Amino acid sequence: MRRGRGRQEPGWLRGAPPPRWARAAPGVATVVLVLAQRATPGTVELGYFLAAVPPMAAFAYGATGTALFALGVVLLFALSALGVGVGNAQGTDLWTVAAVGLLSVVIAWVRKRRDAQLVSVRTVAEAAQMAVLPPVPEEVGPVRCAGLYRAAQQGTLVGGDLYDVRDSPYGVRALVGDVQGHGLAAVGTVASLLGAFREGVLDDPELGRVAARLDRRLVQDAAGEENTELFATALLVEFPPGRDLVRVVSCGHPPALLLRGTAAEELAVDPAPPLGLGLVEAAPPAVVDVPVRAGDRLLVHTDGVTEARDAAGLFYPLLVRVPVVSLPGDPPAAVASAVWRDLAAFTDGGPRDDVAVLVLSVPTAGS
């Protein structure tokens, strides 16, 4: 599933051409003013409003297009002496209109140049953020999965939430986490945790040891900075090959939901302390085996979902809403999308915190 990122911005901020109405406006204004001037008495002067056409064109066209509009306006004024043009601009007035046109061409050139730089910077930034948190594949080993991510900070693709799904010699393993803070300030911590998780998936045979590795990573990162404390909540899931169960470890994270048919229930997992406090190594978190059936789905989320509020200040009731907005046979991608649509409607546009939802489908027998 293609992951949704952040909130949509106007197309021209993403490198798309300006909207049609913006490109049509200078030409329409010119025609309307010319016809209006022709239809009004000679004592009423509307032609001077044509001087606004080149600046209008500068917002939708490049230097060449703006120059053509400016030249057209100057010619309309210049031909007025022959009774063909519009307006009575002569002498210094005509030179003033020409200067406005020239300034508009310069503005259009500068705007196009800055737009190109903005698109280039955004492209590099998006590529870097996608490298930190790439989209989740539709299938990892025998497990079907889908992730949905919405960053709270406008214009960013990655915030303080994270998830990943990886295959390993010990089965498919998944991580959903929520680091301290949100927005770009938390991206470094997100990248550090994901790197440690991807190493632990391959190296650590026990899921609890993966959690200990993540804890150690944050402790070491915080030690390198004065007066800095890093912490994160996380929930780890493992699908042991050939077993009708999933293993779950929670480090201060909201409980996952088990979706079975039309019912949804929270997984009863004793949460360990959050990562980054240095306590996981001393007191390893409990690894809980949860029996599952083929076709069951796990929905793991961050607190940006359950702590979202409506206009009345009520929290979003995820456990109640999931069976309502999704069907038993829905694939993971459909479940994640349905939850986001319902959450966005509940909060009138979407919560103000980072949101991450990961849906995992239990493999069928023989997968």
Amino acid at 261: G
What pLDDT does 3 receive?
41
What pLDDT does 227 receive?
54
Q: Is residue 164's pLDDT more than 70?
A: yes
Average pLDDT, integer, range 102-120? 89
The Cα 262–Cα 335 span in angstroms is: 12
Question: Mean pLDDT in the chain?
Answer: 84
Average pLDDT, integer, range 203-227? 86
What pLDDT does 8 receive?
45
The gap from C-alpha 58 to its chain's centroid, in whole angstroms, comes to: 30
What pLDDT does 160 receive?
83
What pLDDT does 5 receive?
45
SS3 state of residue 44: coil
Average pLDDT, integer, range 38-56? 78
Q: Is residue 278's pLDDT more than 90?
A: no
Average pLDDT, integer, range 127-136? 78
What pLDDT does 43 receive?
65
Q: Is residue 82's pLDDT more than 90?
A: no
Amino acid at 49: F
| Whole-Å CA distances, 321 to 118, 249, 338, 346 | 41, 25, 10, 10
| Whole-Å CA distances, 101 to 35, 48, 94, 95, 290 | 21, 13, 11, 10, 72
What pLDDT does 123 receive?
77
Average pLDDT, integer, range 197-210? 93
The share of the chain scoring above pLDDT 70, in percent, equals 85
Nearest CA among 139, 138, 182 for reference residue 158 = 182
Q: Are 161 and 149 in contact (CB under 8 A)?
A: yes
What pLDDT does 166 receive?
95
The share of the chain scoring above pLDDT 90, in percent, equals 47
What pLDDT does 1 receive?
37
Quick one: pLDDT band at residue 4, thresholds 50, 70, 90?
very low
What pLDDT does 120 receive?
81
What pLDDT does 172 receive?
95
Q: Is residue 59's pLDDT more than 80?
A: yes
Q: Quick one: 311 exposed, middle or buried, by C-beta within 10 A (0-12, 13-18, 19+)?
A: exposed
What pLDDT does 104 receive?
93
The Cα 252–Cα 238 span in angstroms is: 18
pLDDT digits (tens, 9 = 90+) for 281-330: 777 888 999 999 988 999 999 999 999 999 899 999 999 999 999 988 89
What pLDDT does 156 receive?
66
Quick one: pLDDT band at residue 155, thresholds 50, 70, 90?
low
The Cα 26–Cα 177 span in angstroms is: 51
pTM as predicted? 0.72
Q: Is residue 149's pLDDT more than 50?
A: yes
Quick one: pLDDT band at residue 353, thresholds 50, 70, 90?
confident
SS3 state of residue 230: coil
Average pLDDT, integer, range 93-114? 89
CA angle 148, 335, 135 (to 5 degrees): 25
